[in-house]
Amino acid sequence: MARSKTSNAWLQEHVNDHYVHQAQKDGYRARAAYKLLEINEKDKLIKPGMWVADLGAAPGSWCQVARRLMGDNGRVFALDILDMDPIPGVEFVQGDFREEDVLARYLELLGGRQVDLAICDMAPNISGNAVTDQARSMYLCELALDFCREQLKPGGHFLVKVFQGSGFTEYLDAMREEFASVVTRKPKASRDRSSEIYLLGKGKKA
């Protein structure tokens, strides 16, 4: 089957992508690693000894970054609907974050303890319908914020990928209710044409 012009363009961009090559060289599973590395460089989110929740973790590049920056101390708890190859020091639950039983299994890993940092790079399967995709994306973001309301320590931080569009302003307002400050980040590794932006909630209110 012949590739469409769009997928050919994506493939060409991917093959020539500096961050793709860098990820292969540095041993990261995906170019997304550099988004977290750049944000962390600026905001100093990840520290040794932390408990980190990685929501939407597969293929695992953010888990790799967290483990490398934390050293042997601390723990990373990963969740994704897709399977993920094991990473030393990372505990993983496979399942749909929208389902209660999956969340229950994930919370079992935490054993009643709250996390210091939640990071969320989740995105829905793209249907091609912009309105539907945006709604699905915002729903996942809302679930991640709900998770933080319960499972993130007071003073903890929350980094989440959001697509600008319908529901973005309301979501930003909801985050501002929960955190002392909310800032936007658009790392260099984020493709220019993408509407994705990262919101960082700093200092969860008690």
Has 80 been labeled as part of a binding site?
yes
Has 167 been labeled as part of a binding site?
no
161 among known catalytic residues: yes
- DSSP string spanning 126-139? P-S-HHHHHHHHHH
Q: Tell me how far apart the alpha carbons of residues 56 and 73 are, in angstroms, rounded to a whole number.
A: 22
Q: Which of 5, 44, 47, 161 is catalytic?
A: 161
- DSSP string spanning 32-71? THHHHHHHHHHH----TT-EEEEET-TT-HHHHHHHHHHT
Has 49 been labeled as part of a binding site?
no
Dmax over CA atoms of the chain, in Å, equals 56
Has 60 been labeled as part of a binding site?
yes
To which H or E segment does residue 145 belong? Answer: helix 130-151
Has 10 been labeled as part of a binding site?
no
> 78 with 110: CB under 8 angstroms?
no
| Binding positions for S-adenosyl-L-methionine | 60, 62, 80, 96, 121
Annotated binding-site residue numbers:
60, 62, 80, 96, 121
Active site residues: 161
